[in-house]
Structure 1
Amino acid sequence: MSATGSAYRRGPFREGDRVQLTDPKGRLHTISLTPGKEFHTHRGHIKHDDLIGAPDGSTITHTSGSEYLALRPLLSDYVMSMPRGAAVVYPKDAGQIVTMADVFPGASVVEAGVGSGALSMSLLRAVGDTGSVHSFERRADFAEIAKANAQAFFGEDHPAWTVTVGDLVESLPSAVEPGTVDRVVLDMLAPWECLEVVADALVPGGVLICYVATATQLSKVAEAMRDFGTFTEPEAFETLLRGWHLEGLAVRPQHRMHGHTGFLITTRRLAPDTTPPVRKRRPGKGYAAQEEGTETEAPQVEPAPGADDAEWTPEALGERTASEKKMRKLTRGVVPPTPR
């Protein structure tokens, strides 16, 4: 029996397949093949019927005489062009999450903050049909768009995926048995609020990885992990991706690059009744330090403007949020693919 979605990733183009067309200038156009339809540009058109039955990697001639390259989009291509209600986790970050969290085939993974489903698809690819990805999303409209995007990419519902609409703190204890989850991925505004339920759900040695957008979030979740006492010393990093221009002898970095998208911070669950080793590096001034059993109180510092937990909103962190009008349009446009 083939893995979920693998039958739709090879062979000739079929009705309902998504196809990525590249024009002579390198511009990309993604279409879904429908008999009788045409892909139009200002210079002419391409018939979908001419692509159905053609092998992957074919070229097709536009009515203007230009040749277009036709390929099935990769997962990285698909997530950048699919319908979205929330900002997606970029492929460069999704790849790091899968690798640095060591998401393996058959793993039990909990994800909070589904968004548009970009990261969910990478996690499903990694755990395979024998694993499980239990995703939690507070917004029902985001969950609906994410499920439709995943179904369109895999060609069917993935058997390893469960989506729960609700708050992680409230829903996780009843959804999984304590100490049974291998990996937890949090893509949310305030991951420090979930550490208790995450610690209860993780197996000893299990990995928690958080994706946050700002340095203020990064600092707060790192200190919360240290203070909680059941996690290893956290590690944080970000990934910057710079493409290169390749044209004859003009081989140089591209002028544009995918710079900062988010920070990743990882830690692991300690065994029960185990305390983390004493840190050799002293914390900076302003935090409570404990040395030789003597507790030193941190100086009282006025909180920075917007530091209150009530201010942790997408808008406060500079994120672009979809309007209600756009969300209604996206939700209406969610149509499950025709089963093949």
Structure 2
Amino acid sequence: MTQNLAQANELVLLVGSDDKRFFVRLVPGASFHTHHGFIKHDQIIGQPFGGTVRTHSGHPYLLLQVSLFQQIMHVKRATAIVYPKEIGYILLKINAVNGARIVEAGTGSGALALALARAVAPDGHVFTYEERSDMQSLARKNLESAGALANVTMKLRNIAEGFDESDVDATFLDVREPQDFLGQVRRALKGGGFFGAIVPTTNQVQNLLAGLLQGGWAQIEVEELLMRPYKIVPERLRPDDRMVAHTGYLIFARKVDDQGAMAPMPIDDTGAGEADDEPAE
């Protein structure tokens, strides 16, 4: 069992009484400075999480471990990232589990790569492709800072040239025109493997669907996730004034041979007869 104590070189979260939050990498000999005073890192190292540490002037800060959610939202970014509300669902849909080999295209700032790396650890591996060297450099720093580089291979390439890997368990595309790379994806995926993509607009969804429906894919789905937080006042429980609404459309499918791919079912707007993925009695 690992000790629930802050360790040297670990990223921790300090929360003030005013709920201001600070992410601090604990470096022996360094100090954390705020408008409430300073705390030497050596005074934090070895302290239990969930407890309180104090500045030299006595101001308290709650000491907490950094969650994966917080790490993802804390990554330095040059473009929009895949948000946690989608990431958690993506991990389940493409079966990102220990031992899985997953190809990602469109590394960006590395938020999804970080989550994938954690999900497939310790025995799996993530191969992430990016065509911009500046973005790859940023993602590498983010992954290194999170301690997630051990099972990630980063490649600088336009995926039109194809992927180096074959028989992988899943692929995920975060690129402008994913329908242009379905051939490369099929060559990389194992039979029955998982495909996923995220795009911001409906016309991109339409283009990708047109490609998927040409054959060789089954269990095609398009989904959008909306998240609505609530005010934490028991006497006046109600939705918050703001919500995390549209951040992207998710498309999923499974690779099959042409004979295994079934023609899409007619759309039933009444909802009658819907029993997708229901357990058999």
What TM-score do the two structures reach when normalised by structure 1?
Answer: 0.73
- Cα distance in 2 for partners of 1:220, 1:157 equals 34
Which string of whole-angstrom CA distances, capped at 9 and with x for unpartnered residues, describes residues 279-321 of structure 1? 3427xxxxxxxxxxxxxxxxxxxxxxxxxxxxxxxxxxxxxxx
Q: Which residue of 1 aligns with 2:54?
A: 61
User: What is the CA-CA distance between 1:125 and the residue it aligns to?
Assistant: 1.7
Q: CA deviation at 1:64?
A: 4.9
Q: Mark the runs of 5 or more structure 1 residues left unpaired by the alignment.
A: 1-5, 283-340
TM-superposition CA deviations, 1:160-198 (whole Å, max 9, x none): 3211100112041xx123xx1210100111111100111
Aligned 1:277-296 pairs, distance under 5 A: 277-281=262-266
Report the Cα distance in structure 2 between the residues aligned to 1:125 and 1:106, rounded to whole angstroms.
11
Q: Secondary structure at the match of 2:18?
A: coil
Distance in 2 (CA, whole Å) between partners of 1:22 and 1:258 is: 24
The residue number in structure 2 matching 1:84 is: 77
Partner in structure 2 of residue 18 of structure 1: 11
**CA–CA separation in structure 2 for the residues paired with 1:255 and 1:27:** 21
The verdict on how the C-alpha distance between 1:59 and 1:51 changes in structure 2, with shifts beyond 3 A counting, is same
**Counterpart contact for 2:37–2:59, Cα < 8 Å:** no
Relative contact order: is structure 1 or structure 2 higher (C-alpha 8 Å, sep ≥ 6)? 1
1:171–1:250: structure 2 CA closer, same or farther, 3 Å change rule?
same
Contact 1:132 1:161 in 2 (8 A): yes
Tell me what 1:157 maps to.
149
What is the SS of the residue equivalent to 1:46? strand
Q: C-alpha distance in 2, partners of 1:41/1:87?
A: 29
Matched, 1:97 2:90: yes
Match of 2:160 among 136, 160, 169: 169
1:45 to 38, 49, 54: 38
Q: Which amino acid aligns with 1:274?
A: Q
CA distance in structure 1 between the partners assigned to 2:222 and 2:234 by the alignment: 39
Partner of 1:258: 244
1:270 aligned to which of 249, 256, 263: 256
What residue number does 2:122 align with? 129
Partner of 1:325: none
Gaps of 5+ in 2: 268-281
Q: 1:139 to 1:12 in 2, by over 3 A?
A: same
Aligned-pair CA distance for 1:275: 5.6
Q: How many residues align?
A: 267
- Mapped pair 1:235 → 2:228: no
**Contact 1:109–1:183 (8 Å) recurs in 2:** yes
Greater shift in the superposed pair: 20-29 or 94-103: 20-29
1-structure distance, mates of 2:39, 2:233: 29
Q: Does 1:187 align with 2:174?
A: yes
Residue 248 of structure 1, CA deviation = 4.5
Following superposition, the deviation at residue 217 of structure 1 comes to 1.2
- How far apart, in 1, do the equivalents of 2:168 and 2:211 lie? 21
The sequence identity of aligned pairs, in percent, is 33
The 8 Å contact of residues 226 and 233 in structure 1, kept in 2 or not, is answered as no
Which residue identity does 1:162 align to in structure 2? T
Q: List per-residue Cα deviations over 1:125-157 (Å, max 9, x = no partner).
A: 222232221111111121122122112212x63
Higher Rg of the two aligned structures? 1
User: Whole-Å Cα distance in 2 between the matches of residues 240 and 119 of structure 1?
Assistant: 18
CA distance, structure 1, for counterparts of residue 32 and residue 158 of structure 2: 42
SS of residue matched to 2:172:
strand
